[in-house]
Structure 1
Amino acid sequence: MSGPQKLSPPKARFILHSERLGPLPLVNHFIDRIGLASLFDRHVPSDARCAVPHAQALGVLPRSIIVEREPVYRQQETVHDFAGGMFGITSGQMDHLSDDRLGRALDHLFDADRAALLTEVALAVAERFGVNFDECHNDSTTISFHGSYRGASGRKIRGRTAPMITYGHSKSHRPDMKQLLFILTMTADGNIPVAFRCTDGNTSDSRTHIDTWNTLRTLAGRSDFLYVADSKLCSRENMDHIDRAGGRFVTVLPRNRLEDAEFRQWIQSNTPDWTCVWDRPNSRHSDGPRDCWYVFRAPLLSAEARPVVWVWSPLLTLRQEARRRRNIAAAIEELQQLRARLAGAKTRLRGAAEIDLQIKVMLEKHHVARYLKVRRTVREEHEYRQTRRGRPDPETAYRKITRRRFDTEWTTDEQAIAYDHNSDGMYPLVTNDRSLSPAQVLEAHKGQPMIEKRFEQVKTVHEIAPVFLKDEGRIEAFFTLYFLALLVQALIERELRLAMKRENLDELPLYPEQRQCARPTTEQILRLFSLAQRHRLIEGAHTVQVFDVPLTELQRQLLRLLGVPENAFRPPDSRRNSRQIGSPTCGM
């Protein structure tokens, strides 16, 4: 045999196989405590022919929303990035988890009795986590959609009415986009979401409160809990319904009510006997004025004979003053631009009606129609020309040519500004519970902004839109899973904060660079476990050694505070070997 021989490389004896865990063992612990898998099994059953039962397919999505936030069509590759069983399905079921399989599971969730499912979820949370329903906060937000959604007109889908994706009052300030209304209710005990409903995009908030309150009464098993909502609750129909059923409420009296105008007129020449109930350092500026809140019980009842409590915040007064100045300055700048446009050679605004409309839009945009008095005027421009052609001389005759152009003039109404300045930072609250002190009424209402934090979490952290779905039935079912993901995250926050309070821990080093955090969020907790991996050293078909997740001292402390056992990140051998070995990470 002549010539050099090519030697084959030696075959690797050992293979190191890595499996990603991330924060899923921690998330699964709370999902198991709720009993979500059994609830899905009972309300969304499937036959034995399904490679991935509906309940298990639906269980994948809340975990993905919390951890990965990938669209439905990427779920199969997402679950393959993690160790077997982390998403509640086996390694054999992973290959069958297509977007079509998830879509059919969403169809069955839409067909199911979701009201009964969510009721059982809320009752399980109340029983197993000790969440009480003494005080509940309600609000709604709009979810905007890209696309026409012509078929989403409130049609029947398999006998159930699907929500209508249509134009309405956009709380996201996108009137050009269709939307759905996302209604959320949470309990003040840890700001835990306990009720959810999705309805048509053009539904008025004032029409949703009776159904929401009836649902909460069923959950709480009583009617005397305190229901807190914004000014849309303040209608005679809503308040009378709650009052007749023995309920209690706190809401904001709208600005268009007569009681509001009467107080703002009375305060021009009188000084209320304010009582300071909150006095705290400024949370935004350490060298700024203190955050003080004052209350005053109005001497007159509302038109429905219910107590009215006025609230005043000096910091809110400063913010409203600054906002008024900014709005007036911005409106004047646009009026100056309009004036320059009218004086130009090509204004493209020839008619008086068109100019008046432009002025009206400017004033409404900046909310300054009360402070700026704008008047459309006619300005004359005179020009003199020779009556005859040629060089002018002392005998040349001239004729006068007059052109009329529209112009605008405006003045600032100082009296209106001074009138509103006297009541800046003040707003009224109304309640039917006469046993509540003004301080208690304010304290209940001050919990209302926390629901906005949940909406922010849904829209920014969870990225609820776009949903990459066309069927409005599947969209409504998908929103139900977003609610469940939000519930799990809120429970994790509540459990950690309660444990910190129980063990007298003021802060934990959860921020980057181990900076201290006084109010931990789920996002910060999950970030600490995002890189958790388990490794297996394999020789042939046998596992030689398993290298479990090396937990840091901070991670162990968090698991202990949350009540999650450390062996949640160290599954038994039967679970370790459930997933088939893929391509090696590296050879040895």
Structure 2
Amino acid sequence: MTGDGGIPLLSRVIDGGAAEISQITGTMNALRAMAGPKEFLLIADSKLISYGNVAALIKAGTDFIAPAPASKVDDAIYAALDLDAATVVDYTPARYEDTPAAERETYRVLEDIHLLTGPHKNDPPLEVRRILVHSTGNAKGQQRAREKRLAKAREDLDKLQHSTGGRYYNTAEKIAARLGVITRTRRVSGCLCTQITTDETGRPALSWHFDQDVLQAEAAVDGWYALLTTLTPEQTDPSDVLRRHKGQGTVERRYGDFKGPLAVTPIFVQDNKRVAALITVICLALLLFCLIERQVRRALGGEQKMQGLYPGSQKVRPTGRMILYHLSDLRLRVGSATDPPVIAITRGIQLHLLDLLGLEPTHPRWPET
């Protein structure tokens, strides 16, 4: 996607059996060739981070930004970070623009070096820049998810504890088997401590508790994640690395358009060439969809917001979906030799959108009969 308007530049149809991670280098080279002498920055998700991909990117001299997979950064690193020493980033997500400043998600960044080791002992380690990011929104979300997970586990464990010694859980083996199911499904194996005892009659009993030290250690890393990049400190500071990475949301939004407003659904075709042709046509439709959205926003200028798209007087950025929704019920009145064709406009928002698109509704390009 382009930075200006999120216009799709390149689409490819890849065999269903091909691994996603093995397609990155070839796609990167194709995009780099298209970019020519212009600055090219590859922004990707954590699938990009493998020894082979990073080595290829460094060798090609192509800069990238991608989040480090969770397995690449130990939680102890995040737990040891000093949040007060981190730099506050001047960045506000679009969804928080109308939210009071005190309630907005905030980001802080620190910086260090990450060494990426290869699959073989003689592979030289790759040194890349690591930006450690803390998000208050992520922290709150992770805290809520943990509380919900613990609450469900607590409910299951209390139920099991009250059932021990009864008809279904009358042996330690059955209780242990049920505990294994609970710890796996509720993902509490790291913090759950249990003890199964039996009395003089052989009746089992269960006691349990959550290890608070483990829970505090989990809470200490809430909100932290790492971005890896080859951009040097001379090229950009840590805050700008985060802002550039947030541009990936544009691509994700276009994936949503591909699957949503364009109404792409499964269809049966008889050979792979027809699959490729169908996807190509859909990608051309996405291109037009995005160009319409870009044209309307550029014509609005300034904050690129307008009224009338939704009930009420709220001003929002027009999306391709809402633009086509409001234009979908336009009707063409076919003309005759004495009566020229005209477009029947029923609402003012339609006239406004046509004007922003540079279309003249009184002179449609349509046969007169």
**Cα distance in 2 for residues equivalent to 1:479 and 1:417:** 47
**Cα distance in 2 for residues equivalent to 1:363 and 1:476:** 45
Counterpart contact for 1:226–1:249, Cα < 8 Å: yes
Counterpart contact for 1:534–1:546, Cα < 8 Å: no
Map of 2:6 onto structure 1? 191
Find out whether 1:371 has 2:191 as its counterpart. yes
Counterpart contact for 1:295–1:311, Cα < 8 Å: yes
Q: Which residue of the other structure, out of 108, 129, 137, is the alignment partner of 1:294?
A: 108
Map of 1:256 onto structure 2? 71
State the shift of 1:331 in Å. 2.2
Matched length = 354
Map of 2:131 onto structure 1? 309
Counterpart contact for 1:510–1:524, Cα < 8 Å: no
Q: SS state of the match for residue 195, structure 1?
A: coil
**Cα distance in 2 for residues equivalent to 1:461 and 1:360:** 44
| TM-score normalised per structure 1 | 0.53
State the shift of 1:229 in Å. 0.8
In structure 2, the CA distance between the partners of 1:198 and 1:381, relative to structure 1 (3 Å rule), is farther
Q: Give the CA RMSD over aligned residues.
A: 3.3
Find out whether 1:439 has 2:239 as its counterpart. yes
The one-letter code sitting in structure 2 at the alignment partner of 1:468 is I
Deviations 1:94-128 (A, max 9, x none): xxxxxxxxxxxxxxxxxxxxxxxxxxxxxxxxxxx
Find out whether 1:558 has 2:353 as its counterpart. yes
**Cα distance in 2 for residues equivalent to 1:203 and 1:364:** 31
Greater C-alpha Rg: 1
1:113-512 equivalences in 2 (<5 Å): 186-199=1-14, 201=16, 203-222=18-37, 224-257=39-72, 259-267=73-81, 270=82, 273-278=85-90, 280=92, 282=96, 286=100, 289-298=103-112, 300-303=113-116, 304-339=126-161, 344-346=166-168, 352=173, 359-374=179-194, 377=196, 379=198, 382=201, 402=202, 409-434=207-232, 435-465=235-265, 467-469=266-268, 471=270, 473=272, 474-501=274-301, 504=302, 506-512=304-310
In structure 2, the CA distance between the partners of 1:408 and 1:451, relative to structure 1 (3 Å rule), is farther
Deviations 1:472-524 (A, max 9, x none): 624443233222222221111112212222xx465322323363433110111
Deviations 1:145-187 (A, max 9, x none): xxxxxxxxxxxxxxxxxxxxxxxxxxxxxxxxxxxxxxxxx23
List runs of 5+ in structure 2 lacking aligned partners.
117-125
State the shift of 1:553 in Å. 4.8
In structure 2, the CA distance between the partners of 1:334 and 1:478, relative to structure 1 (3 Å rule), is farther
State the shift of 1:546 in Å. 4.9
The one-letter code sitting in structure 2 at the alignment partner of 1:464 is V
Tell me which protein shows more strand as a share of its residues.
Answer: 1
**Cα distance in 2 for residues equivalent to 1:372 and 1:255:** 22
State the shift of 1:285 in Å. 5.5
Counterpart contact for 1:490–1:522, Cα < 8 Å: yes
Q: SS state of the match for residue 309, structure 1?
A: strand
Q: SS state of the match for residue 510, structure 1?
A: coil
In structure 2, the CA distance between the partners of 1:360 and 1:519, relative to structure 1 (3 Å rule), is farther
Q: SS state of the match for residue 197, structure 1?
A: coil
List runs of 5+ in structure 1 lacking aligned partners.
1-185, 383-401, 578-588
**Cα distance in 1 for residues equivalent to 2:281 and 2:330:** 25
**Cα distance in 2 for residues equivalent to 1:189 and 1:224:** 15
Q: Which has the higher contact order (CA 8 A, sep 6+)?
A: 1
Counterpart contact for 2:115–2:127, Cα < 8 Å: yes
State the shift of 1:340 in Å. 5.6
Q: SS state of the match for residue 12, structure 2?
A: strand
**Cα distance in 2 for residues equivalent to 1:209 and 1:274:** 32
State the shift of 1:203 in Å. 4.9
Q: SS state of the match for residue 217, structure 2?
A: helix
State the shift of 1:244 in Å. 0.8
Counterpart contact for 2:300–2:356, Cα < 8 Å: yes
The one-letter code sitting in structure 1 at the alignment partner of 2:45 is D
Counterpart contact for 1:226–1:247, Cα < 8 Å: yes
